[in-house]
Amino acid sequence: MEKRVHIAVVPGPGFSHLVPILQFSKRLLQLHPNFHVTCLIPSLGSPSTASKSILEALPPNIESIFLEPVKPEDLPQRVAIETQIQFTVTLSLPSIHQSLKNITSNTPFVALVADSFAFEALDFAEEFNLLSYIYFPSAATTLSWYLYALKLDKETSCEYRDLPEPVKIPGCVPIHGRDLNNQAQDRSSQVYKLFLQRAQRFCSVDGIFINTFFEMETGPMRALKEEGRGYPQVFSVGPIVQTGDDAKGLECLTWLDKQEDGSVLYVSFGSGGTLTQEQVNELAYGLELSDHKFLWVVREPSSLAFDAYLRAQKSVDPLHFLPEGFLERTKEKGMVIPSWAPQVEVLAHSSVGGFLTHCGWNSILESVVHGVPLITWPLFAEQRMNAVVLSEGLKVGVRPRVSENGLVERVEIVKVIKCLMEEEEGREMRKRMKELKEDAANAIKEDGSSTKTLSELVLKWESLV
């Protein structure tokens, strides 16, 4: 009988850090059923309903252990979202250590895989004789920036956003300093120091898994693998996305069934992205004026772009914040859903012809897997970088212009919707997205680039048991 291979994984706090590492675990099990994964879950306050329902549906070979939740009042107040995420892990380290001790006491584990924000857990790898890996749930371009930032930090004295030329990260599409991740926008900040510290730690792991595929990010993947840079081994194992097959009969899907093929624009800002009240108004008028069909996941407005990211949703009805009469005027054209949609099922629906997205990496991969071209509207984290990759690099999306007042105005919204849904430029993006969809499907076939990469590594782990 084949020996069982045990590994432990530590997600970062928040739905979109939990889901990718669980999907990765499922992918391992799919390729190698003799795997057993133990997932140690840090959280800030109690986990969201969406996270809980994902955990309830796990296969028996994935075991989840909830760590003592960190109390929000124990975190420093008013710090960046990335700092909150990372400090939640820092405060969970004693329980991560204890859990590792418990689970490895009778069973030999071979590897510890931590989300990029949970990298501190890897400090325990040596003590428990485990190989250490990062699971990086973002683009290879973003990983390349993390590693390149270590060099650029030493060579640059000004803020990156004040550099006259775009930053040329090896193998990547040039990115203007102002489009780099939020953490790199203020070099004197704590969040920037933590970012560099994280990047530094990445250099000493046994490997980094990236949820991307070679054909989508050939340039950065080649550069990351080039010898002489001193980078750790990187493995592109994606696209690993949720399959989503349990939402049949929901009202929005029934509504989509009645629409023409490719006619609907799906609008969503991820698991926790929020807009200001003014921006909600502009978006509402833009959708209305565009005269296109839309399915919009509406969230309560906030002045913080990531307000709903780590906190459970409030009970206020977000539809109250839409402009007066909007719902009545658009009832033939659109549908709005409060707070949460079955996104994967929506993107898989043939009526959906475009996705206005905040450019979270999971949303992007889900759109690629289903061949849906994009309107790229980044909000926070590394989303502006993703927007550049998609609109300027791969040319599968159009990016709206932000006005001097910080708003994407209704006229601009109408312009990008028409560009994507009606014009030649949009047709070209659609065509390129269909090609990318094929590449994505090929990458995870039996002989595909991502499957081969992962299988080779798994063989190595098996040999260690």
Asked if 51 touches ligand UDP (CB under 6 A), the answer is no
Backbone angles phi, psi at 320, to 5 degrees: -65, -20
User: Looking at beta carbons only, is 115 or 288 nearer to ligand UDP?
Assistant: 115
Question: Could you say which of 25, 48, 141, 242 contacts ligand UDP (CB under 6 A)?
Answer: 242
In the complex, the smallest distance separating the C-beta of residue 91 from ligand UDP, rounded to whole angstroms, is: 21
Asked if 275 touches ligand UDP (CB under 6 A), the answer is no
Using CB under 6 A, count the residues that bind ligand UDP.
19
Which residues are tagged catalytic? 17, 115
Asked if 343 touches ligand UDP (CB under 6 A), the answer is yes
Question: Could you say which of 48, 142, 279, 363 contacts ligand UDP (CB under 6 A)?
Answer: 363
Query: On the CB side of 185, how many CA atoms lie within 13 Å of its CA?
Result: 13
Question: Could you say which of 48, 141, 181, 271 contacts ligand UDP (CB under 6 A)?
Answer: 271
3-state helix, strand, coil in the chain (%, to 5): 45, 15, 40
Asked if 288 touches ligand UDP (CB under 6 A), the answer is no
Binding residues for ligand UDP restricted to 365-394, rule: CB under 6 A: 366
Asked if 341 touches ligand UDP (CB under 6 A), the answer is yes
Asked if 344 touches ligand UDP (CB under 6 A), the answer is yes
- How many C-beta atoms surround the C-beta of residue 229 within 10 A? 14
Asked if 360 touches ligand UDP (CB under 6 A), the answer is yes
In the complex, the smallest distance separating the C-beta of residue 291 from ligand UDP, rounded to whole angstroms, is: 24
Of 241, 238, 196, the C-alpha closest to 221 is 238
* 206 DSSP 8-state letter: S
* 391 DSSP 8-state letter: I
Asked if 54 touches ligand UDP (CB under 6 A), the answer is no
Backbone angles phi, psi at 129, to 5 degrees: 60, 50
Question: Could you say which of 41, 118, 149, 297 contacts ligand UDP (CB under 6 A)?
Answer: 297
User: Looking at beta carbons only, is 11 or 206 nearer to ligand UDP?
Assistant: 11
CA angle at residue 16 from 10 to 21, to 5 degrees? 35
Q: Say whether 384 sits in a helix, a strand or coil.
A: helix
C-alpha span between 55 and 204 (Å, rounded) = 31
Contact 273, 360 (CB under 8 A): yes
C-alpha span between 153 and 175 (Å, rounded) = 16
Binding site for ligand UDP (CB under 6 A): 15-16, 19, 242, 268, 270-273, 297, 340-341, 343-344, 360-363, 366
